[in-house]
Amino acid sequence: MDIWFNLRNLIWREVHLIRQGTRLVTGFGPNNEINRKIRDKARQYHDKYGVYSFQNPDDGTVYYCGSFSPYQNEESGLAGRITKYLETRGGGQDTNSKVFNKINEQIKMNPVAIKILDLSELRIEERDGPASNTFWITSIDNGDIARLIERMMIAFYRYHNQCRWNDD
């Protein structure tokens, strides 16, 4: 049996640009306009599932790639996921803390863009001898597909010496 995956017309769309020299602090207190602005931008994307990244907007380097799914009270899965990073205490060894700290390190030198992945089609073709089945997926509509694409993107970018913040 053979299984072929074909991702077509991948486009990273910018959600928000964190400017060089910015300093992220945790939480959404009254004096934390930056985090509220980031979360509000993420809320404009109403997808429940998807793939996102943190990138250098100047040269396109992908620092981190992840997937999102529905979160508690958020209509937007992306906003829920980004909120988790921005609520972190930043001192732990969990993924949220590590990525939060990496963003703060990076924005000392470069801006960091939060981007969401758009694709026109994921084609999965299964061939077993003369029989074959083909599935076309035109949106990321469940967690399994989101994680599949996330892992494919991480593997692809690691091949190009990127996704260095993904440490699994």
Q: What is the DSSP letter of 128?
A: E
- Model-level pTM? 0.91
Share the mean pLDDT of the chain.
Answer: 91
First to last CA, the chain: 29
**Residue 135 banded pLDDT, cuts 50, 70, 90:** confident
Average pLDDT in the 54-78 region?
92
CA dist 3 and 102 (Å) reads 36
Cα torsion 150, 154, 155, 159: sign? positive
Tens digits of residue pLDDT in 81-124:
999 999 877 667 788 889 999 999 999 999 999 999 998 889 99
Average pLDDT in the 46-70 region?
96
The DSSP result for 13-64, as a single string, is EEEEEE-TT----SS--TT-HHHHHHHHHHHT---SSEEEEEE-TTT--EEE
pLDDT given at position 91: 67
Residue in the structure block whose two tokens are 């981007």: 115
Does residue 163 surpass a pLDDT of 60?
Answer: yes
Does residue 157 surpass a pLDDT of 70?
Answer: yes
Q: For the domain bounded by 11-118+140-159, which CATH number is listed? A: 3.40.1440
Assigned token pair, 145:
């597909």
Domain spans of the chain? 11-118+140-159
Q: Are 24 and 100 within 8 A, CB to CB?
A: yes
Residue 61 neighbours by CB distance under 10 Å: 18
pLDDT given at position 13: 96
Does residue 30 surpass a pLDDT of 80?
Answer: no
Assigned token pair, 99:
């990525």
Residue 31 neighbours by CB distance under 10 Å: 7
Helix (H) or strand (E) holding 80: helix 77-87
CA dist 88 and 156 (Å) reads 28
pLDDT given at position 167: 82
pLDDT given at position 90: 60
